[in-house]
Homo-oligomer: A and B are copies of this chain.
């Protein structure tokens, strides 16, 4: 396999750093690696394979020489909107972690365990889904393969790392201030997040839902390739550093026993079942942080409807929810496995 030239755009952010670590950990065959960020981070060095790689400023000429094969973007929507097409026009395939391209018709939105085949039609830009969506569809897909899913009601418990490194610092500083009975300062979040839950992620839309909630609805349908699935989402930020949890209520078309669901998930790619109430075993955010898999437990029948099911899904939002999923897409592209 020939080695690739790879760029990471937004390399100094929470997800960018995780992308770099993941590229190294998964032994992506990299010839030349370039790290891009804003002017602010120029000169910063990040470790890769025992060396320090210097961060460069992203500019309109960065992709000009057409010597970058692939780029992992995680620098926010406006950077992606502007620079992903520039990269793509210079023969660089972009895997973009922002929401800018996800719902465009000619941009595949891919979770490797669910819809790798959607990569076949890519035109240079591939979108990485929202963190909360990824961990949910990884669990929904194996169930869907037994019976179509008609409706999902999901409430999330999302960690602050989804809002970036400064948000993580804010949870820490607010917590320290609160315990010391000092004034709590708020910057990244609309309200105090320390010892509090905030039912508001991303901006509000006309219909009363947040954009984060809308993402879970639209992205799930696109990834699953089924517009008929009803998804009702409530997205909530909780005072946890890393790892998103989701309480998910599912209605399938056909009856499936809890035992069958557990069996199917046990053998599903990227999924680990932790589900033994007798031993107090269920997925936890603190235990899943740093791990690759999506964890599911508390699987139980919901007898208030036909073919109802409840479960609790947890994954590291920086890994499977962002960096790992992007690097897995990169692997599919490199190996042309789609």
Instruction: Give residues in A with beta carbon < 8 Å to B.
Output: 151, 153, 155, 157, 171-172, 175-176, 179, 190-192, 195-200, 204, 207-209, 230-232, 234, 236, 238-241, 245, 247, 249, 258, 277-278, 280, 282, 284-287, 297-302, 304-305, 308, 310, 312
Partner of A304, one of B191, B231, B286: B231
Q: Are A232's CB and B208's CB within 8 A? A: no
Copies in the complex: 2
Cβ-defined partner of A298 (8 Å) among B208, B245, B247, B304: B208
Is the CB–CB distance between B247 and A207 below 8 Å? no
Residue from B240, B302, B304 within 8 A of A239 (CB atoms): B240
Contacts of A310 in B (CB 8 A): 232, 234
Q: Could you tell me the distance in whole angstroms from the C-beta of A148 to the nearest C-beta in chain B?
A: 14
| Cβ 8 A contact of A204, one of B172, B247, B277 | B277
Residue of B nearest to A299 (CB): B208
Q: How far is the CA of A310 from the CA of B232 in the complex (A)?
A: 8
Whether the Cβ atoms of A282 and B200 lie closer than 8 Å is yes
Among all A-B residue pairs, the 7 with the closest Cβ atoms: A230-B304, A208-B300, A204-B277, A155-B155, A155-B247, A234-B247, A196-B286
Classify the interface of chain A: helix, strand, loop or mixed: mixed
Per the bound structure, the CA–CA distance linking A240 and B193 in Å amounts to 10
A171 to chain B, nearest CB (A): 8
Say whether B234 contacts A308, CB under 8 Å: no
Q: What distance in Å separates the Cβ of A139 from its nearest Cβ neighbour in chain B?
A: 15
Which of B195, B199, B209, B245 is in CB contact (< 8 Å) with A247? B199
Contacts of A258 in B (CB 8 A): 208
A240 touches B197 (CB 8 A): yes
B175 contacts A230, C-beta separation under 8 Å: no
**Partner of A199 from B175, B198, B230, B298 at Cβ < 8 Å:** B298
In the complex with contacts A208-B300, A232-B249, A239-B240, A312-B196 CB distance below 8 A: no
One of B196, B207, B280 near A190 (C-beta < 8 A): B280
On chain B, the residues within 8 Å of A191 by CB distance are 280, 284, 286-287
> Are A240 and B196 neighbours in the complex by a CB distance under 8 Å?
yes
A300 CB contacts on chain B under 8 angstroms = 207-209
In the bound complex, what is the Cα–Cα distance between A200 and B191 (angstroms)?
27
Residues in B whose Cβ lies below 8 Å from that of A230: 304-305
19 inter-chain pairs at a CB distance below 8 angstroms, sorted by A residue, are A151-B305, A172-B179, A175-B175, A175-B179, A191-B280, A191-B286, A191-B287, A197-B245, A204-B280, A208-B298, A208-B299, A230-B305, A232-B305, A234-B298, A234-B312, A236-B247, A238-B239, A239-B239, A239-B240
